[in-house]
Amino acid sequence: MTDPQWELLLKVIRGEIIEPLPAGFIIDSPWLPNWYGISILDYFSNDRLWLDANLKAMQDFPEILFLPGFWSEYGMCTEPSAFGVRTYFPANEFPHAHRLLHSTAEIDELLLPDPSTDGLLPFVLNRLKLAQPEIEAAGHKIRFAVARGPLNIASYLMGSTEFLMAMMLEPEKVELLLQKITRFLQSWLQLQMATFPTIDGIFLLDDIIGFIGENEFKTFGLPCFKALYSLPVTVKFLHNDAACRVSAPYLPEMGVNLFNMGFDIPLNELKSLTQNQVTLLGNLPPRDVLAAGTPEAVEAATRDLVAALTDRRHVILSCGGGMPPGVRSANIAAFLRGRV
């Protein structure tokens, strides 16, 4: 993000009214490679192509806040790889991290990774180091430390069904696992912050909090996120595009001040649930409208989204979730026209 873009983001988070409403999108490997005309594997394995794809998005749409900006990642394999999972990288499909823990008894022996040396994490950092001069020459800075959230990582290490069942059957083991993952994430975020002093934001992604009840969220999720968002940065950004009515009232307590949700909840309802203390990034339907719709349909849906707002503070227009595969430049331009 450029300095003016960062200042704009901070103004929205402070509750200032911006006209027209700002637009922002989470962009990463599900969208950028094919939009740029390369395979997902090319995007992951060629630093030049990764950088050029990101630069083109920002040059083509300078009025959009692309978040987190120059996201160095390997899909859902990024953090799980540090624990030693087997990773799966097809040529032009999403990568996958295979299950590592086959019983809760193995949690006791699970070692904490060193983010400076383990798995794909050194490659994540080194890609950014190599690209940093060109990123800054283009007027941008590295603004966010980024990681999958603790429950998300736990679900990859154990398997989603097995992890959710263990919450009910062996809660003490799950607490131990999440404590270990949270300590790892603290060290990973701190390493990113130490490597790039321009970082003043944390971005965590965790959809698993959308699959648990309030008691489970308060027991297993809330303590982890409070610990992670206690790190000293200005922007504390969370993505959860699964169900969020259970966790949304706790976002201010977690420390979150920027939230990207799914598309199945009205922004006005989320404003009420969060007492309008959290800036909302959303929430046009990503697949059926932004990707599959005509430009005319995208523009009309965006106008409807704006018109429905009862309070225009703390809103950045986006889709509900990250930018999905298949979104064309014409539809992004239509989205921008619909803001006005």
HEC-encoded secondary structure of 133-180: HHHHHCCECCCEEEEECHHHHHHHHHCHHHHHHHHHHCHHHHHHHHHH
What was the pLDDT predicted at 297?
A: 98
Residue 279 tokens, joined: 């800036």
The structure's pTM equals 0.97
Dist. CA 228–CA 233, nearest whole Å: 11
Tokens representing 311 are 């309070």
> Which residues of the chain are modeled with pLDDT < 70?
none
How many helices and strands, by DSSP H and E, does the chain display? 14, 10
Look at residue 89 in the predicted model and tell me its pLDDT.
98
- Helix 47-60 vs helix 121-137: angle between axes, to the nearest 10 degrees? 50
Backbone φ, ψ for residue 46 (5° rounding)? -125, 110
Residues 194, 220 contacting (CB under 8 angstroms): no
What does the alpha-carbon distance between residue 335 and residue 329 come to, in Å, rounded to a whole number? Answer: 10
Predicted pLDDT of residue 312: 96
Kindly report, residue by residue over 93-113, the tens digit of the pLDDT: 999 999 999 999 999 999 999
Could you tell me the domains of the chain?
3-338 (3.20.20.210)
Look up residue 234 and give its two tokens.
Answer: 């200005």
Query: What is the pLDDT at residue 340?
Result: 86
3-state secondary structure of 198: coil
Is there a contact between 335 and 320 (Cβ–Cβ < 8 Å)?
Answer: no
Angle, alpha carbons 8-125-47 (nearest 5°): 90
- CA 87, CA 176: separation in Å to the nearest integer? 24
**260: buried, middle or exposed (CB in 10 Å: 19+, 13-18, 0-12)?**
buried
CB 25 within 8 A of CB 339: no
Q: Which amino acid is at 150?
A: P
